[in-house]
Amino acid sequence: MIDIHSHILPYIDDGSNSIEHSLRQLKQAEEGGVSTIYLTSHYFPGHYQYTRPEYDEKLDALRGQAKAAGLKIKLSSGFEVFIQPGILKDIKEHSLTLGDSPYVLIESELNGLPSDFYANVYPLLRAGYKPILAHAERYVSIMRKPERARELADRNIHIQSNAGAILGHYGEKVRQTAWILLENGWTHFLASDDHVRGEYGALFEASKLIEERIDGRTAELLTLGFPAKIETGEDIPYSYVRVKSSRHKPKKKSLLRRIFG
């Protein structure tokens, strides 16, 4: 599995506040089958103050400590970028993408989305970035009208859901919304958004549940197939649900064959 959203990098945002806890979390992730994890610290000027070199320094330190602890999990750089007017400049200047890819994990007001959301994302698209909306099921406007997630995908924004949302950790309404997005094929990524508050396991539990309730192919696409394309910079389809071609419908028997068998 590849986890594209986590706050396991310590001392930088509202995620981990201890190296020991971060290492414990990474160990649990690795043992459960995560091979790569993106350490997507919040990028929200005015709320979390750090420079890109400070982020890189913290990431390098954690990589060293993880290696010393015998961990093999790959720690990739990333940010969860709060969308606001003019954010493209910051994304360009500080390379606020997932690894070296064109994909950018974005977030907005949870009680929104604000009316200027798309207007602020559109410049990213025009500049060649590929935005992924983090935890889409947590936005009030998407809870009210889940089809909005499809509308976003129609406008070239990928959708990420939180494992905890699938399991009901954010309440019933968020859980229901997350399942509606999944069942309609509007979710492209399942990720932990782990803030190091408890155990890491939600991603594994949620993936298993998707396998049981939807199918193994969907669980695999959301936790490995699509995230792997971020690493290689490949395109990820906005619509991926297979629709059976009408050419494969069984042919109707002719009148004579129906009569005589």
Based on CB atoms, which residue is closest to Fe ion, 175 or 247? 175
Stretch that binds Fe ion, among 17-25, 26-34, 78-86, 117-125 (CB under 5 A): 78-86
Among 80, 137, 194, 231, binds Fe ion (CB under 5 A): 80
Q: What is the dihedral of CA 114, 101, 191, 118, to 10 degrees?
A: 10
Residue nearest to Fe ion (CB): 193
Please choose, out of 72-80, 157-165, 182-190, 206-214, the segment that lies near Fe ion by the rule CB under 5 A. 72-80
Scan residues 192-211 and list those touching Fe ion (CB under 5 A).
193
CB 181 within 8 A of CB 137: yes
Between CA 99 and CA 69 the distance in angstroms is 23
Q: Please, what is the minimum distance in Å from the beta carbon of residue 176 to Fe ion?
A: 21
Judged by CB under 5 A, the number of residues near Fe ion is 2
- Rounded to a whole number of angstroms, the minimum distance from the CB of residue 233 to Fe ion is 22
Return the ∠ at Cα 233 (arms to 228 and 238), rounded to 5°.
Answer: 75
Residue span binding Fe ion (CB under 5 A) among the ranges 76-84, 118-126, 138-146, 236-244: 76-84
Phi, psi angle pair for 56, to nearest 5°: -60, -40
Nearest to Fe ion of 80, 231 (CB atom): 80
Residues 144-183 that bind Fe ion (CB under 5 A): none
Asked if 28 and 250 count as a contact pair (C-beta separation under 8 A), the reply is no
Q: Rg (Cα) of the chain, in Å, rounded? A: 20
Nearer to Fe ion, 185 or 201 (CB): 201
Least distance (Å) between residue 189 CB and Fe ion: 12
By beta-carbon proximity to Fe ion, the closer residue of 7 and 235 is: 7
Cα(16)–Cα(7) distance, integer angstroms: 6
Beta bridge partners of 78: 40
Q: Which is nearer to Fe ion, 82 or 129 (CB)?
A: 82
For the CB of residue 12, give the shortest distance to Fe ion in the complex, in Å. 12
Distances (CA, A) of 76 to 49, 53, 66, 166, 231: 20, 15, 13, 25, 9
Q: Choose between 45 and 237: whose C-beta lies nearer to Fe ion.
A: 45
The whole-angstrom distance between residue 88's C-alpha and the CA centroid of its chain comes to 20
Shortest spacing between CB 37 and Fe ion, in angstroms: 13
CA torsion through residues 66, 68, 70, 72, sign: positive
Q: What are phi and psi of 40, to 5 degrees?
A: -90, 80
The answer to the question of residue 137 lying near Fe ion (CB under 5 A) is: no
Q: Which is nearer to Fe ion, 106 or 221 (CB)?
A: 106
Give me the residues that bind Fe ion (CB under 5 A), please.
80, 193
